[in-house]
Structure 1
C-alpha cells in the first residue's frame, strides 16, 4: 500500500491545451464517422478535467487489470459523484489510497480487486474505509 499522498485538483488546467487530430484510425470496419472534420481537441474538455471535483491518480500495481486498469495508468477521479455498486473507486484503506470495484452482497458494500491471478481479499466498505471518489476515465501510456 502506498502512503497517503495529496491528490492534485485539475480545475486550473490551461484551457489552451489542444491536441491536433491527424485523422480517424480504423480499428474495425470503416465508419461513417471517418468524415469527422474536427481538427483539434482539448484534452481537458475531453476528459472533463476542468471541474473542481476532478483529480488524477497514477495507479501502482496490478489489482485492477481485469477492469482494464493497468500498472502506471492514470485515472480521472470525481469526488462529487455518488459511488454506486459496480463503480470503480478510489478508497482510503489503512491510511493509503487503493483502486477497487465497489460491489454489494446481501446489502453489504465491499471493495474488490479485479485480478483473478492474485489473491486479493475483499474489503468491507465500512469504517475505517472511506470511498474517496469514483473513477471516471483512464489514460494509458502504451510505451511505458
Structure 2
C-alpha cells in the first residue's frame, strides 16, 4: 500500500488526490444492466481513471472517511469515503466539508432568508444547525464531489 493510500485510512487527515499514484486504474469487467440486460456488452473500454472520470483537480481534491451517522438521509454512511473538491463552489443544497470548532464535519449547506446554515441529514437524531459564518469560527473547507462505499461491510 502506498503511503498516500495508507494515510487515507485515517479519518482526521485529508489526503490530496495528487498523492495517489497517477497510474492507478480500475479494470472494467463489462456493463451490468440494472433492470434489463445491457445492450452494451461489447463495450471495449478496459479500465477507468477515477480522477479523469470524476473530473478532479489533483491539487484541489482530497479524500475523507466519514465518521458517524449525521448524514444518513443524504446517503452518506459511517466509513464511506468521500472525495472533496476545495475549488468547488459551496451552494445551497450542496454537501460540504466544513471546519467547526476546529474539526472537520460533513453537512448540507442550506441558505434560509440569506443566512447559510450547515445542517445534518438524519431524521432519527437531533442536530442543531450551525450558522456557516467565518466570524463564528466556521469555515466551509470544500464541496463533496463523490462517495465510495464498501458494500461488504
- TM-score normalised by structure 2 residue count: 0.84
Task: Decide which of 23, 30, 47 is 1:40's aligned counterpart.
Answer: 47
Residue 29 of structure 2 corresponds to which residue in structure 1?
A: 22
C-alpha distance in 1, partners of 2:128/2:107? Answer: 11
Superposition map of 1:1-144 within 5 A: 5-49=12-56, 51-126=58-133, 127-144=136-153
Change (3 A) 1:5 1:19: closer
C-alpha distance in 2, partners of 1:33/1:111? Answer: 42
C-alpha displacement of 1:6: 3.8
Between 1:43-52 and 1:14-23, the stretch displaced more is: 43-52
Aligned length: 141
Which fold has the larger relative contact order, with Cα–Cα distance below 8 Å and residues 6 or more apart in sequence? 1
C-alpha displacement of 1:31: 4.0
Query: What is the alpha-carbon root mean square deviation over aligned residues?
Result: 1.8
**Runs of 4 or more off by more than 3 Å in structure 1?**
30-35, 47-50
- TM-score normalised by structure 1 residue count: 0.89
CA contact (8 A) 1:11 1:49 kept: no
C-alpha displacement of 1:60: 0.1
CA contact (8 A) 1:17 1:44 kept: no
In structure 1, list runs of 5 or more residues that go unmatched: none
- Structure that is richer in helix per residue: 2
SS at 1:66's partner residue? helix
User: What per-residue deviation string (whole Å, max 9, x for no partner) do you get for residues 96-141 of structure 1?
Assistant: 1000000011111000001000011111111211000000000001
